[in-house]
Structure 1
Amino acid sequence: MEAMEFDSLDVKDDLNHNYCGSGAKVRRFLSGTGSEVCPTTQNRERPTARWKVRPGTAGGSRLMDSDTDSESSEVSDADCPGSPAAKKVSPDSSSKFLLNAMAVEDYRKNHWPNLEKAIDRLLIQNPADHVSVSYAQIYGYIYKCVCQQHSELLYRDLTSKITTHLQQVSTQLQASPAENLIENFNAALTQFTASLQCIVPVFIYFNKFYIESKLNRDLKGDLMQLFAEHVAEKHLSALMHLLITAHSKPFQVQPSTMASVVKGLYSFQPEWAHLAPAVFSAFIPQIHPPAVESQLPDYAAHDQQLQLELSMNGFPRGDQSRKRTSEDS
C-alpha cells in the first residue's frame, strides 16, 4: 500500500482531552532544533517537515518522517478513545481490565524506556554541543501515551526522572570547593535551562492536554520548580554568603555570572531577595523602595565609595584632561 500523508488522519476530542479519531486534522512535526507545532492546534502554519503513515501490524500504522523515513511509535485508530475503530470494540469489564494491563505493560516495556534514554541524553548535554536525538520518534511515543490514557503515569515518571538527575547535580555541587560554588551553580543552572529548551517543546502535546488542562500549570514551570527545590534551596545559605562577599569585592566573580545566579534565584523565589537586598538590587530593579530626598547624601556617599573601590582595583576614572576648568568658564 502506498504511503499516505499523515495530514489525512483526523482527530476527535474525548472526555480526557485526548484528541484522536476524527475531527480536526493532525499536524505533526519535529525538527532537529527542538521546536514543534502541537498536532491538534488549529490555524497555524503548515510545518516544513512532513509525516507519512505506512501500514503496520494488527491494523495499526507506523509514523514516518518523510524527510528521513525515521520510524516513530505505532499508532492505531483503536488506541484513540472516540475514534470509529475504538467504538467497534466493546469489551466487558474483565476484557477492559486485561486491555488496560496490556497497555500499561506496553508503556513500561516500549514507550517509557525509549523516552527515558532520550531525556538522559538531553539532560547531560553540553549547551555548546549538538545532541542527536530523534525528536519525531520521541513525539510519537508521547502522543501515543496520551492517547492510551497514560498521561498521569508519564507525568509521574518524567518528574521522578528529573528529580533523580537534580539530586545528583546537588550532590556534585556539595562536593565542589566552596570558592567555586557560584560558578558551578551557574553552570548547572545554565545547562538545565538549555536542556529544558529541548525537553519542553517535544512534550508540548502532553503539556497542553494534561498539565495545562488538568493540573492548571505548565511543564516548564514544574520542572524549574524541581530545580529550585532540589538544587537551589539546598545551597541557598552558602550561595547567599558567597554572593554577599563577592558583592563587597567587585569583580571577584564575573559580573555576568553574578547576574545570572542572582536573576535565577529571584525567578525561583522573589522573597529570597530579602536575604541580600544589596546584592539583588544591583541586578534587579525595584528591589529597594523608591528614593527619597532625605537619603540623597547617603546615595552620594555610596557612589563615592564605589568609585574608590573601582579605582583601587585598577579601573581609572577616565581622561580628565578635557574637563573644563573654572578659568574656561
Structure 2
Amino acid sequence: MDESIEAMEPELVESGVVDPPEKNSAPLLRPGSMVMMSLTVADYEMHYWPKLQGAIDQLLTLKPGGYISISYEQMYSCVYKCVCKQFSERLYKDLLNHIEQHVCHLAEQLSNSMQDSRHFVETFAFTMNQYLQALAGIVPIFNYMNRFYVENKLKTDLNEELRKIFRSHVVDSQITKLLNLVDEASCQPFAISPPTMASLIQNLFNLNAEYVHLKPGLFSRYIPNVLPPTSANQMDAYIAEVKQMQSDIHKMQGFNSNFDGSRKRSFEEDVSIN
C-alpha cells in the first residue's frame, strides 16, 4: 500500500470521519495481487464505482461534526485498482459529475429558501460548511488518483476542482445577495448567531479570497489583516462610525441603558452605616 496515503488514514480516523480498519476484516483487494488482476468496464460500473459513490454520498450528507462508518482501506483499494488499471480518466469524470449533480441540487434547495432572509443565510452557512467538511473526507480517499492523474497529467488539484464546482454553481450566483443580507443582519445584534456569521465569512474567504473586494468592511470583522493598515487621517471616520453605531443601539426597541449618572445599581438600596 502506498505509504504516503496509508499515513493519512490515522488522521481521518482521529477526526471521526471514518472507522479504523477492523483487525479481522480483509481488504477489498490485496495490494500484492493488484497487478495481476484485471478490471473490466463491467467490474468498474457494477462494483468499484458504486462502492465509491456510496461513500461519497455518505460524506456529502453528513451533518457537520457527525460520524459515519466508512472503511477507508476498502475505498483506497478501489481507487488504487482503478488508477492502476487505466480507469483514472473515467473515475475522475464520474467523481466530478456526481459532485456537480449534488451541488446543483444544493443550489436548488437554497433558491427555495430565499423568501426568508434569515433562513436563507443560515441555510447557506450550513450547506457550505457541510460541503467543505465532506471534501475533507472525499479528497483523501481519492488522493492516489489526485497524485498520479489529476496533478501529474491534468496539472491541477482535486480539492481545488471540487471547490470550484461549489463556487460556480452555488456561491457566485448568490454572493452579492448573500453579502448584502449578512451586512444588514450584522447591524442588528444577534439577528444571526455570531458563530454562524463567523463560520460563513471564513468559509467564503477560504473558497475565494477575492470575495473580500465585494464587502471589505464586512470581511474585516471576521478575517484579520484583509484591510490595509489604518492611517492617521482615517481616525475621524472611525470615531464617527463608532458614534453612529452607539446611536443606532440606543434607538433599538427595548434598549435601556439604566444610566442615571450614578454608579449605584438600580436594585441597591441606601444602607446606613452607624
TM range (shorter): 0.7 to 0.9
Q: Deviations over 1:205-258 (max 9, x none)?
A: 222222222233322222112111111112223212212211333332222222
2: distance between equivalents of 1:28 and 1:271?
A: 35
Q: TM-score, with normalisation over the residues of structure 1?
A: 0.67
1: distance between equivalents of 2:110 and 2:191?
A: 20
Picking from 159, 167, 172, the partner of 1:228 is 167
Q: Deviations over 1:98-119 (max 9, x none)?
A: x8xx623321222111111111
1:183 maps to 2:161: no
Q: Once structures 1 and 2 are overlaid, which stretch shifts more, 287-296 or 225-234?
A: 287-296
1:297 maps to 2:253: no
Offset of residue 168 of structure 1: 0.5
Q: Once structures 1 and 2 are overlaid, which stretch shifts more, 112-121 or 309-318?
A: 309-318
Residue aligning to 1:68: 24
Residue aligning to 1:276: 215
Percentage identity across aligned positions?
32
Residue aligning to 1:325: none
What are structure 1's unaligned runs of at least 5 residues? 1-6, 8-18, 20-24, 37-48, 50-64, 87-98, 323-329
Give the aligned residue type for 2:96: T
Give the aligned residue type for 1:228: R
Give the aligned residue type for 2:197: M
> Which one has a larger percent helix, Structure 1 or Structure 2?
2
**Residue 12 of structure 2 aligns to a residue in which SS?**
coil
CA contact (8 A) 1:162 1:223 kept: yes
Matches within 5 A, 1:237-276: 237-276=176-215
Q: Deviations over 1:53-99 (max 9, x none)?
A: xxxxxxxxxxxx6603144146664x53xxxx69xxxxxxxxxxxx8
1: distance between equivalents of 2:243 and 2:32?
A: 72
Picking from 209, 212, 221, the partner of 2:148 is 209
Offset of residue 128 of structure 1: 3.6
1:157 maps to 2:157: no
Matches within 5 A, 1:48-63: none
Residue aligning to 1:200: 139
CA contact (8 A) 2:5 2:144 kept: no
2: distance between equivalents of 1:167 and 1:159?
A: 12
> Which one has a larger percent strand, Structure 1 or Structure 2?
1
Offset of residue 270 of structure 1: 2.5
What are structure 2's unaligned runs of at least 5 residues? 15-19, 265-274
Residue aligning to 1:10: none
1:117 maps to 2:73: no
When Rg is computed on C-alpha atoms for both structures, the one with the higher figure is 1
How many pairs were matched up? 254
Residue aligning to 1:34: 12
2: distance between equivalents of 1:233 and 1:317?
A: 46
Residue aligning to 2:70: 133
Residue aligning to 2:270: none
CA contact (8 A) 2:29 2:74 kept: yes
CA contact (8 A) 2:129 2:203 kept: no
Label 1:211 to 1:277 Cα distance change in 2 as closer, same or farther (>3 A): same
2: distance between equivalents of 1:138 and 1:166?
A: 22
Give the aligned residue type for 2:70: V
1: distance between equivalents of 2:75 and 2:13?
A: 13
Q: TM-score, with normalisation over the residues of structure 2?
A: 0.79
Label 1:31 to 1:274 Cα distance change in 2 as closer, same or farther (>3 A): closer
Residue aligning to 2:272: none
**Residue 175 of structure 2 aligns to a residue in which SS?**
helix
CA RMSD of aligned residues (A): 3.2
RCO higher in structure (CA 8 A, sep ≥6): 2
